Amino acid sequence: MGTPFDYAPASTPFTGAEAWYCAQGGLDVRATSGAMFSSPPALGNILPNSGAFTTLSASGIVSGAGMDTYTAARIAAGLPGSFTTLHTTGLIAAPIPSPAWASYSTQYNGAFYNIGSFPLTSLIFQNTSGTVSTLTGAVDTPSTDTVWSGGINAGVSGYARSASTTKGSVGIFGAGMSNANGTSQWGANFIATNFSAPSGTNTGQKAFTTIGCEIDVYLNGTSLTGLVEGLKIVGACSMAPTGGAYGIEIAPLNVAGTLGWGAAIAIDDAPNTSAINIGVLGAGSTLGSQALRFAGRTSAGARTSSSISVDAPGNLVLTPYTGAVIIPGAIEVTDLYTSDTAYLHITTATLANGAGSSTATLTNSPVVGNPTKWIAIADNGTVRRIPTWG
């Protein structure tokens, strides 16, 4: 794809942005502070009056049936065209030729809008791998931009608003679709780095704030009755795939898996009603909660799993992998209920003898007669019994 430096600047700047189809067939749009280039290349493989254009006017873009006669004639002659009205269906572009799918090795753009001469070597994979983008926007912000402290410059922005009660608005929409088995799809993919490219081994800056994706929600007013959700993930699947189905997956902090996050999920101090709400295990009645599951790995490398959940009556259920719940510290309860009919208590360490030198007497039994039940405890494998009367 050509660059602005391939063409001499115009003596009198135009009011829009120069646009041309490059040799690969992609539309290239470049401008620096409104300045244009005096000698754009010929339209090449774009047929006359096919919807191609070379000049954008302040009123917008038209092509095809919406093109005025003057513009069509100039395009037919290989000259820049101009226009002042939009076609009723907006921009209608002629089909852009595809790259050489089996051999192209750089980024192929249907249209490339570049502000500030963003270097092509800072595109994904340093622009050394074949990737296609129908519309690419880039901006290289210099240190002299000191307007609006805390603001941002964007490669691509989307804004939408709606007054319709039947149709909402989306600032940016993306859909990744499969057209064959074995493909991969992403609805959106964001990258943030502390160096001058989206990937690679460039030297990183030491002081930075790098956020992969930020979602902001603003609400004004009082007595609000609507619903607000910062992030919502909705599935519309006919079945769960056998390879797994995870609403959110958090990978390690590096590809090798040797670096971890300070906290995979951090919840700030706030007056939230609850930090996490976990729902019921499906629809219907007499159901417990979904489980909060924890994984471990044995000395042999076998993966283990224990969970915490709530049963249908509302009891908290700890389900250990090995049948034991280990509490290293003290535990305080109001009442302790056990369901083992053989033992009241089982220890994993041998109890101390606790013997003294005094003569034992037992003269104040709660009732007359022998003990009615001897309660067993398992003292590290040795059964000991406590007499009780009832």
So where are the chain's domains? 1-141, 331-390
> pLDDT of 207-251, one tens digit each?
999 999 999 999 999 999 999 999 999 999 999 999 999 999 999
User: Does residue 143 register a pLDDT over 90?
Assistant: yes
pLDDT number for residue 336: 85
Lowest mean pLDDT among 35-44, 191-200, 280-289, 377-386: 35-44
As given in the structure block, the two tokens for residue 75 are 């395009």
Q: How confident is the model at residue 351 (pLDDT cuts 50, 70, 90)?
A: confident
Mean pLDDT of the chain: 79
Q: Compute the average pLDDT of residues 82-101.
A: 56
Q: Compute the average pLDDT of residues 75-94.
A: 45
User: Does residue 34 register a pLDDT over 80?
Assistant: no
pLDDT number for residue 74: 52
Lowest mean pLDDT among 48-62, 66-80, 119-133: 48-62
> pLDDT of 244-289, one tens digit each?
999 999 999 999 999 999 999 999 999 999 999 999 999 999 999 9
Q: Please, where are the H alpha helices in the chain?
A: 69-76
pLDDT number for residue 188: 95
Distance, in Å, from the CA atom of 145 to the CA atom of 208, rounded to the nearest integer, reads 18
pLDDT number for residue 358: 85
pLDDT number for residue 76: 55
User: Does residue 61 register a pLDDT over 50?
Assistant: no
> pLDDT of 156-171, one tens digit each?
999 999 999 999 999 9
* Share above pLDDT 90 across residues of the chain, in percent, rounded to a whole number: 48
Give strand pairing partners of 114. 30, 138
User: Does residue 142 register a pLDDT over 70?
Assistant: yes
Distance, in Å, from the CA atom of 282 to the CA atom of 244, rounded to the nearest integer, reads 18
Q: What is the DSSP string of 118-160?
A: --GGGSGGGG-S-EEEEEEEEE---TT--SSTT----SS----
Q: Please, where are the H alpha helices in 42-140?
A: 69-76
What value, to the nearest 5°, has the Cα angle with vertex 300 and ends 296 and 304?
25
Q: How confident is the model at residue 39 (pLDDT cuts 50, 70, 90)?
A: very low
What value, to the nearest 5°, has the Cα angle with vertex 258 and ends 254 and 259?
60
* Share above pLDDT 70 across residues of the chain, in percent, rounded to a whole number: 76
Q: Compute the average pLDDT of residues 345-371.
A: 84
> CB pairs under 8 A, 24+ apart, for 380-386?
380/347, 380/348, 380/349, 380/350, 380/351, 382/350, 384/351
pLDDT number for residue 147: 93
